[in-house]
């Protein structure tokens, strides 16, 4: 009888120790997962921040292009105003000269 009791005891011992090892393995996996999740979250945050920086840089480039276009348009507008003033001055002086000629013709 001692032999079957010894075998049953050994079997129970093996079951309990294997249970303990499985539990320990599961605990180790659970403890390791938060690190994986944390690393994934950190990676995603870094990636998101990188995308945001790229968007900001792209927007800054667009703003610089728009500023240069606005400056160019302002310069063109000033040039057009200058030409308009010259045309108005020329037209005005031509009108004055024609009026003087007409006045002289009438006087004669």
The 10s digit of each residue's pLDDT in 37-95 is 677 788 888 899 999 999 999 999 999 999 999 999 998 888 888 776 665 666 666 67
Phi-psi region of 17 (alpha: psi -120 to 50; beta: other; left: phi over 0): alpha
Quote the tokens at residue 29.
Answer: 């996996």
Does pLDDT of 28 surpass 70?
no
Rounded to an integer, what distance in angstroms lies between the CA atom of residue 76 and that of residue 70?
10
Does pLDDT of 3 surpass 90?
no
Rounded to an integer, what distance in angstroms lies between the CA atom of residue 27 and that of residue 25?
5
Rounded to an integer, what distance in angstroms lies between the CA atom of residue 48 and that of residue 29?
28
Record the pTM.
0.43
Q: Provide the pLDDT confidence category of residue 107 given band limits of 50, 70 and 90.
A: low
């Amino acid at each position: 009888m001692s032999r079957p009791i010894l075998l049953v005891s050994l079997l129970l011992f093996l079951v309990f120790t294997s249970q303990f090892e499985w539990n320990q393995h599961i605990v180790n996996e659970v403890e390791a997962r938060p690190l994986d999740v944390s690393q994934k979250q950190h990676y995603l945050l870094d990636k998101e921040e990188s995308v945001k920086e790229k968007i900001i840089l792209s927007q800054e480039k667009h703003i610089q292009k728009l500023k240069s276009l606005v400056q160019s348009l302002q310069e063109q507008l000033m040039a057009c105003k200058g030409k308009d003033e010259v045309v108005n001055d020329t037209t005005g002086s031509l009108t004055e000269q024609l009026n003087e000629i007409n006045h002289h013709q009438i006087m004669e």
